[in-house]
Amino acid sequence: MSIPIFIGTSPNGEDRDIERIYEYSLRKNSSQDLQIHWMKLSDDKSSIWGGWNTSKWFTPFSGLRWAIPHACNFQGKAIYTDVDMINQKDISDLYNIDMEGKPFAARKGLRFGGHELCVMVIDCEKAKEHIWDLKYLKKKSNSHSHHRNLISNNPSQIKAIDARWNCMDGESLALSEIYQLHFTKMSSQPWHPSWFKGAQSEHSREDVVKMYFDMQHECNKKNISIREIPKNKVHYEILL
């Protein structure tokens, strides 16, 4: 059985180097087949990824995660993650956790009312009663913040997972202890996505940055190509 993984990324190739590194790391460590879906805004409004109101998003993909149950026809489970990650542990271990009857699972954290929703396991059938209709989801500028706040603050809807599946910039862990490294501070992401217009800064951990470049080198040696930039640039608005 393939594990469906939906990864939120930028639409115009701004994150294409970390895309290949992240996908390579996931497939390298997984004991099961992976069905990876790159969630990126589309200029085709008939697409599930097209026609979104992004004006209150903080990234070019913030709200797309709430369409995953729709994309799965409200059947089975799926994993969501942001693109800015490197995997070090078999993702099937995360997929196969006991959800204890809850529609969502994510690590506990200090942001967003109690849980960090940048890595989630979703029971798509159980999520149906909590997710807005797709047309309304796309139309409303607050659809992302609404669902994030509703779910993160509600322990009856979300199960806590091991925080190592969403380790933010290394935290205080040794690299060998991290299941999934997350470059959360956009100003210090080593690939410098062009959509981020803020000031650049140095990452707080040299070993974390080295991990990125070591993985980049490994991908280059294996001739794993960078994804092509689409010919037509997709317009979006985000908060900066």
* 15-27 pLDDT per residue, tens: 999 999 999 999 9
105 vs 118, 123, 138, 169, 223, CA distance in Å? 11, 9, 23, 21, 35
Of 36, 27, 50, 32, nearest in space to 7 by CA: 36
As a whole number of Å, the CA-based R_g of the chain is: 17
Residue 6 has pLDDT above 90, yes or no: yes
Rounded distance between C-alpha atoms, residue 119 and residue 142, angstroms? 20
181 vs 28, 93, 129, 131, 196, CA distance in Å? 15, 16, 31, 28, 20
Rounded distance between C-alpha atoms, residue 168 and residue 178, angstroms? 10
Residue 240 has pLDDT above 80, yes or no: no
Residue 87 has pLDDT above 90, yes or no: yes
Helix (H) or strand (E) holding 105: strand 104-108
Mean pLDDT, rounded, for 118-122: 98
pLDDT of residue 174: 98
Residue 112 has pLDDT above 80, yes or no: no
Distance between alpha carbon 144 and the CA centroid of its chain, in Å? 14
pLDDT of residue 209: 98
**Confidence bin at 230 (pLDDT 50/70/90):** confident
Residue in the block written with tokens 């000031």:
199
> What is residue 86's three-state secondary structure?
strand
More confidently predicted of 76 and 230: 76
Residue 170 corresponds to which tokens in the numbers above?
């290394």
Rounded distance between C-alpha atoms, residue 18 and residue 191, angstroms? 7
pLDDT of residue 33: 98
- C-alpha distance across the termini of the chain, in Å: 40
- Residues 25-43 have pLDDT tens digits of 999 999 999 999 999 999 9
CATH code given to domain 3-221 = 3.90.550.10
Mean pLDDT, rounded, for 64-90: 98
Mean pLDDT, rounded, for 170-197: 96
Of 167, 204, 201, nearest in space to 84 by CA: 167
The rounded mean pLDDT for the chain is 95
Q: What is the pTM of this model?
A: 0.96
**Confidence bin at 147 (pLDDT 50/70/90):** very high
Residue 153 has pLDDT above 90, yes or no: no
Residue 169 has pLDDT above 90, yes or no: yes
166 vs 96, 154, 220, CA distance in Å? 16, 19, 26
Mean pLDDT, rounded, for 153-179: 96
Q: What is the 3-state secondary structure (H, E, C) of 157-195?
A: CEEEECHHHHEECCCCCCHHHCCEEECCCHHHCCCCCCC
Residue 19 corresponds to which tokens in the numbers above?
């895309």
Domain segments of the chain as ranges = 3-221
Rounded distance between C-alpha atoms, residue 131 and residue 143, angstroms? 9
